[in-house]
Amino acid sequence: MNVPYIPNLSHCGIFCRDLVVMKRFYTGVFDMQETDRGIGGTFRYELVFLSGRDDQHHQLVLAGGRAADAPSTVMQLSFKVKTIDHLREARRRALSLGATKMRGLNHGNALSIYCMDPEDNTVEVYLDTPWYVSQPHGDPLDLDEADEAIWAQTERVVRSDPSFMPAEEWAARFARRSEALRAASN
């Protein structure tokens, strides 16, 4: 059987100043567990492996060794949830565990909150919508509004965008492009 080559980004690692604080943040906000810990053989730092899934040993690796004055080089770490209430819960947990600069953005294809973790790395928590609009796209998102109002406003905005289409249509187009690229490379 010929299995197509389709890499899947599965985890990332970040350098940290304080592994205790950072572990508390990511386990507390995202219900992750420590799966392993130790000093790396090639990366001579203390490594803490975290996962929220039983089918994935680690989704996030926290590495000690970030200098006290070293800025973050993380553009963003993104976590996907299933409901608007989950966004609200992530916001509540993150703020209680030291997150700063909390803000909501409606991307049309996703509803997102963004914040800075305790070491100033940008964290996004999002859920997909059933629609596509070209990115970047960002309108304010007020999670204090009722779910129905958020969904109605989102649909109104995306349908007025010239790039609008249902997410299923975008996915089908992507699949056709991917298949054409695979065929052309064979």
What ranges do the domains of the chain cover? 9-70, 71-186
pLDDT-based confidence at 5, cuts 50/70/90?
Answer: low
Q: Does domain 9-70 have CATH number 1.20.1560.10?
A: no
CA distance 177 to 181: 6
Residue 166, amino acid: P
- 71-186 folds as 2,3-Dihydroxybiphenyl 1,2-Dioxygenase; domain 1 (3.10.180)
Q: What is the pLDDT of residue 77?
A: 95
Tokens of 162: 């010239």
- Give the pTM: 0.89
For the segment 66-88, what is each residue's pLDDT rounded down to a tens digit? 999 999 999 999 999 999 999 99
Structure-block tokens of residue 17: 């100043």
Nearest CA to 59 out of 83, 79, 87 is that of 79
